[in-house]
Amino acid sequence: MSELVLVRLEKPATILTLNRPDKRNALNRALVTALAEAFRQAIADPHTRVIILTATGPAFCAGMDLHELAETLDRPDEAELVHADARRLAELYDLIYTCPKPTIATVPGPAVAGGAGLVAVCDLAIATPRASFGYPEVRRGLVAAMVLPHLLRLVGERIARELLLAGELIDAQRACQVGLVNAIVAEDQLLPTALEWARRCAQGGPQALAKTKELLRRFSPFASLWQAVQESAAARLQVECRAGLRAFLEKRPPPWVE
C-alpha cells in the first residue's frame, strides 16, 4: 500500500502531501493519524522552517471519509469510535493551528468540509482557479463543529453563516475575497509560489515566528476545542446523520429535501 502522506524536504520547507487520490484524499483514521505524525516530525526537524501542505490528484481533500463513518455507525461500539474519531481530527487541527512554524496550504482542487478545515488551520493558503471550498455538513445531517471556530476567525459571522447554513461550494475567487485563501495562482505555479513564501517566512527568526504565532492565537477569539469535539460526535450519532449518510452513499436526496 502506498504511503498516505508523502514527505519531502525542500529547504527551508518540508512538503507534506496527502496521498489518497482514489478517495479524493478523504480523511479516514489512517490518514489523520499519518498526517499528525508527519506534522510532529516536521515540527521537530531543525532543518524545517516552514511546513507546506498539499495533495495528489485533482482534489485537495474531500473531508471526512463518510464510508468509514457509515461503517462505524453499524457497530455496537459506535459511540466510543465516533468520539475517538472526532477527538483524533480535533487534535490534528490543533496540532496544525498551534504549530510553532509557519504553515502553508496549497490547494489544487476542491477542499470540502474537513478538507476546508485543514486549509483554515494553516497560516497561509494558496489556491488554483480550479479550487473550490465548502462546508456541506448540514446537507449530510452533520454539524461542522470543529471547523466552525476557525471559519469564524477567518471570515466573520455573516460569511460563516452563509457557508455553513447553505452548505454550498464557493470558487477560489470568492474564497480569496472572503479571506479563506491569500492568493490564486496558476496550477504550475502553486508549489513554486508556496516555496517562495516559505523562503520569505524563513527570513524571520524561529523564536520570533513562534512567538508571533502564539500572540496571534492569544488575541484571536476561539471556542473550546473539546466542546467542539463533543458537539461533532453527538451530531454523528443522531438519526438525522444516519439518514443523511445513507442518502449520500446511495446518491439520492436526504429525506428532508422534497
Catalytic residues: 137
Query: Is the residue at 150 inside a domain?
Result: yes
| Residue 1 pLDDT | 42
Cα separation, 202 vs 104, whole angstroms: 12
SS (H, E, C) 145-187: CCCHHHHHHHHCHHHHHHHHHHCCCEEHHHHHHHCCCCEECCH
Fill in the amino acid letter for 253. P
Kind plus residue range of the DSSP H or E element containing 103: strand 103-107
Cα separation, 7 vs 86, whole angstroms: 25
- What are the cell numbers at 173? 475567487
Query: Is the residue at 225 inside a domain?
Result: no
Which residue is it, cell 438525522? Answer: 240
Contact (Cβ atoms closer than 8 angstroms) between residue 129 and residue 108: no
> How many structural domains are present in the chain?
1
Query: Is the residue at 111 inside a domain?
Result: yes
Sign of CA dihedral 114, 118, 120, 125: negative
Helices (H), the chain: 29-44, 66-72, 78-97, 114-121, 148-155, 157-166, 172-178, 190-201, 206-218, 225-236, 239-249
Per-residue pLDDT tens digits of the chain, which is 258 residues long: 469 999 999 999 999 999 999 999 999 999 999 999 999 999 999 999 999 999 999 999 999 898 888 888 778 777 888 888 889 999 999 999 999 999 999 999 999 999 999 999 999 999 999 999 999 998 888 888 888 989 999 999 999 999 999 999 999 999 999 999 999 999 999 999 999 999 999 999 999 999 999 988 887 655 556 666 666 666 666 777 677 767 777 888 877 676
Query: Is the residue at 235 inside a domain?
Result: no
Which range of residues forms the domain containing residue 102? 5-189
Global pTM?
0.87
Query: Is the residue at 128 inside a domain?
Result: yes
CATH number at residue 108: 3.90.226.10
